Amino acid sequence: MAKETKHVGKIVNTGEKVAVVFRTVPGESNMALVLPTATLRDDQHNSLMELIDSEQGQQANELGEIMFTRSFANGTNMLTAVQAEGRLKKVATDTVKMTPTPVSEILLSELNVLIAEQRNVSVDELYTFVSGAPKSDETATPATETLPSEEPVAAPATDGVLSDSDLARSYRSQADAMYKEAARLRREADELDPPKKKTSSKEKASAEA
């Protein structure tokens, strides 16, 4: 049986190979963010394919999540680099055919429906499974509203490329999630092995007296 590989597909009409970075876009569940692999330099392409084929890459719910934590050979963050170079494209999910094996294909739109059914949610809610994404019961922030300590949030780009503001919001959300996870792990570590209380100089002198 052929090995299945997540996150890879091709554009239906052109056959162009793509890596599916995010299967849906918040507020636009019929759209996905893809990365045409042929546009990458050889070193970038090799690094990306190694990541996709890795155990961590295959376990990742969304390729973009693991790309956010990895770097290309030159040290640049994968997700940041492909965005800065304008390589991320927003396309309709029914124009992307996933190719988990050389002999099997499924439209991304159909795959999203199957995943949503497995998780007992709607396709519109799939984005909430991305690390750091707002929960479905949270009120969406209007495009013109200013968040505390942040720049005004711009409306999503309409030219098929994820805007810098969109990406910045994703980074902030993921950074917040990572901070919360780190804090949780710290609490669990302290419960397992409580840190020793530092003895003040006065207490030390009193004990020695």
Distance CA 110, CA 114 (A): 6
Q: Does the pLDDT at position 156 exceed 90?
A: no
pLDDT bucket at 167, cuts 50 / 70 / 90: low
Query: Shortest CA distance to 40 belongs to which of 74, 6, 65?
Result: 74
pLDDT averaged over every residue in the chain: 78
Q: Does the pLDDT at position 73 exceed 60?
A: yes
Q: Does the pLDDT at position 91 exceed 50?
A: yes
Q: Does the pLDDT at position 174 exceed 90?
A: no
Cβ-proximal residues to 131 (8 Å cutoff; 6+ apart), any chain: 61, 65, 173, 174, 177, 178
Residue 177, both tokens: 């999630």
For 58: left if phi > 0, alpha if psi spans -120 to 50, otherwise beta; the answer is alpha
Q: What is the largest CA-CA distance in the chain?
A: 85
Kindly give the residue spans of alpha helices, DSSP state H, lying in the chain: 42-53, 55-59, 63-67, 78-84, 108-118, 164-192, 201-208
Per-range mean pLDDT, top range of 40-44, 179-183, 191-195, 197-201: 40-44
Cβ-proximal residues to 150 (8 Å cutoff; 6+ apart), any chain: 172
Does pTM top 0.75 for this prediction? Answer: no
**pLDDT value for 151:** 34
Q: Does the pLDDT at position 33 exceed 90?
A: yes
**pLDDT value for 64:** 93
Query: Shortest CA distance to 167 belongs to which of 178, 154, 180, 176?
Result: 154
Radius of gyration over every alpha carbon of the chain, rounded to an integer in angstroms: 22
Q: Does the pLDDT at position 38 exceed 70?
A: yes
What stretch of H or E contains 10?
strand 8-11
pLDDT bucket at 88, cuts 50 / 70 / 90: very high
Q: Does residue 48 or residue 206 have the better pLDDT?
A: 48
